[in-house]
Amino acid sequence: MANNRNMSQADAGKRLAASRKGTIGRILKTVLEFYPVRLPLVIVCILFSAVVASVPSIFMQNVIAVVEQSWQTGDWNGVSGQIAGLVSILLVFYVLALTSTIIYTRNMASITQGSLMKLREKMFNGMQNLPIKYFDTHNHGDIMSYYTNDIDTLRQMISQSLPQLLISAVTVITVFSLMLYYSVWLALVVICGVVLMIMVTKKVGGNSARFFIRQQVALGKEEGFIEEMMNGQKVVKVFCHEEESKADFDRINDALFEDSRTANKFANMLMPVLNNIGNVMYVIVALAGGLLLIAGTPNLSISGLPIGISIVVPFLNMTKQFCGNISQVSNQINSVVMGLAGAERVFSLIDEKPEEDDGYVTLVNAREVNGQIVECKERTGMWAWKHPHSADGSVTYTKLTGDVRLYDVDFAYEEGKTVLHNITLYAEPGQKVAFVGSTGAGKTTITNLINRFYDIADGKIRYDGININKIKKADLRRSLGVVLQDTNLFTGTVMDNIRYGKLDASDDECMAAARLVGAHDFITRLPEGYNTYISGNGANLSQGQRQLISIARAAVADPPVMILDEATSSIDTRTEAIVQRGMDALMQGRTVFVIAHRLSTVRNSDVIMVLEHGRIIERGNHDKLIEEKGKYYQLYTGAFELE
């Protein structure tokens, strides 16, 4: 298992290492899109500051040249004035550079945090449009890592690494141009040192970058494991699995440690090695300059100036500056690589293909006028499907009644592994249809197809005579009320959680829904009643209480079709009797699909579908199935529960 884990991590690292070459360009394009005026201003300020950083070498050469000339001629008159003038000009440049630095650092802080905020918004907004399949196949902790670790690497890259790279690159180009201007011979000496620095950077920096990418992947894996353990902490303790959990965590943590240690080992080696190469280069340039002076070698330069102290001394300063900026570029490689790895993951989430929705039939409020269905803005308690026809431009309205029919439906979560075979069934308006069968028989899958969490491979599903592929998914799901076996409550008050089913519901409507399903009594006994604050998925409530709130949430939505997936599985027998009365009232006049292991809860259904291995093997009402003495009869007379 550990080997498989390491292999998958290595594969992920290779995929990230082979990331698109245009990632930096996309980052800059994205930031420019957010800040079309401020980003160019920042770039101009950075360029100006970088160029000014190279100015002292020019002034040093001019000052030494003035002193050298005066020493040779013996005329010192006016030297102090010339030097003072040069220093004054240099001071002006420094003041301007300081001003531009203040401008770009202040703006860069806003641009960085603002860009990250907008990227998080794009990720989250895009995530809302992803299909359920994405969340079924991706580790939730790893998804959370997109918003924390990966975004943080982008922060460091945008705010520090990219500006520093730009400054260093401009400084290197400017300084090297000055080197060629003053002396080609000494510039060639520097080039030899640069070649060595590049070779070291490629070797050491490449190893560091590879392991920093692996570190990023391992970090997401660790967060996913921690999130999983937090959600399953009760199960861990019930089965005394603490030591095994520690061992699993240690393996993942050790892998992260090894990748981080190796990455930082190479990263920490790089700067000292490059700095010492720079120091050696300084000495070599000084020796070369001295030898050129002693030998009286003619200078090869653009300036045409002869080799002298006024050339050699500033050149030493430029060498230090040149090597220092090469080192700075190399030092930022790790941050850039981590930022690119994070950006790739962030953009991969943003680029995930959204849930397809080709529907054009919408759900509207309606009323009947002279026997005709007409659309209206206000709520009337009547809904209709608005069906535009592209052929002639006409629009027809079909009353929403809750007639659901499946014809020869086949479905597979993975290609080649069919889980539903030739499912044909119908639910007329107001009917209660129950699905029973063992775990994995396909009960929940059928309901997932009705609300189009997944699309069918073959067959048809019609809703009030309309192919559900033609109905916009949001409108389709708005017409369906769903109560799941696994309850999900959100941070907020009890009232907020009930109102989640209908955001414009009044307090009275929410309370009426709670009374209907039998939740009102226990809610009023909470410390602050309906204003009791709950968090952590309602950890301070019992499982049954959480389920009652989720049922009330579906009740306040008042949909014409209800899907109850083990809605009472977490409620004790006494509470179930209370809830069942409310559920009966809730289901009155609605089309209802019920999934239950307790056969007592489906006994009064209009039709019961018995599923096995993705096929309907029996169908009929309770009395009919008992008479047939088939699978349902065996289950019912054997143990009132399937499992």
**Tens of pLDDT, residues 589-638:** 788 888 876 676 788 888 998 888 889 998 888 888 888 888 888 877 76
CA distances in angstroms from 386 to 10, 389, 395, 518, 637, listed in the order given: 52, 10, 7, 36, 47
CA angle, 322 then 328 then 329, to 5°:
95
> How far apart are alpha carbons 426 and 575 in whole angstroms?
31
| Neighbour count for residue 434 (Cβ, 10 Å) | 24
Q: What are phi and psi of 315, to 5 degrees?
A: -65, -35
> How far apart are alpha carbons 90 and 256 in whole angstroms?
50
Mean pLDDT of 140-157: 83
- In angstroms, how far is the first alpha carbon of the chain from the final one? 32
Query: Does pTM surpass 0.85?
Result: no
**Tens of pLDDT, residues 227-267:** 778 777 767 776 677 888 888 888 888 888 888 888 878 77
Task: Choose between 543 and 575: higher pLDDT.
Answer: 543
Residue 153 has pLDDT above 50, yes or no: yes
pLDDT for 582 equals: 63
> How far apart are alpha carbons 26 and 373 in whole angstroms?
51
Helix axes 79-127, 55-73, angle to 10 degrees: 170
Nearest CA to 352 among 569, 551, 135, 199? Answer: 135
624, amino acid identity: K
When mean pLDDT is compared over 73-82, 365-374, 576-585, the highest value belongs to 365-374
> How far apart are alpha carbons 18 and 21 in whole angstroms?
8
Distance of CA 539 to the CA centre of its chain: 26
45: phi > 0 → left, psi -120 to 50 → alpha, else beta; which? alpha
The average confidence (pLDDT) of the chain is 81
3-state DSSP of 201-226: HHHHHHHHHHHHHHHHHHHHHHHHHH
pLDDT for 16 equals: 42
**Tens of pLDDT, residues 324-359:** 777 777 777 777 877 887 888 888 889 888 888 888
**Tens of pLDDT, residues 508-532:** 999 998 888 888 888 999 889 999 8
Domain with CATH 1.20.1560.10 in the chain: 36-350
pLDDT for 75 equals: 59
Asked if 67 and 79 touch (Cβ cutoff 8 Å), the reply is yes
> How far apart are alpha carbons 98 and 105 in whole angstroms?
11
Domain with CATH 3.40.50.300 in the chain: 404-639
- The token pair at 489 is 């409550």
DSSP classification of residue 540:
T
pLDDT for 73 equals: 59
Confidence of residue 405 (pLDDT cuts 50, 70, 90): very high
Residue 581 has pLDDT above 80, yes or no: no
> How far apart are alpha carbons 555 and 549 in whole angstroms?
10
Nearest CA to 155 among 112, 106, 122? Answer: 112
pLDDT for 70 equals: 62
Least confident piece of the model among 55-59, 275-279, 459-463, 489-493? 55-59
CATH number 1.20.1560.10 given to 36-350: yes
Confidence of residue 579 (pLDDT cuts 50, 70, 90): low
**Tens of pLDDT, residues 8-17:** 444 444 444 4
Helix, strand, coil distribution of the chain in percent, nearest 5: 60, 15, 25
Residue 133 has pLDDT above 90, yes or no: no
In CATH, the architecture of 404-639 is: 3-Layer(aba) Sandwich (3.40)
Nearest CA to 575 among 603, 617, 614, 546? Answer: 546
Mean pLDDT of 453-478: 90
pLDDT for 569 equals: 64
pLDDT for 3 equals: 44
Mean pLDDT of 487-506: 86
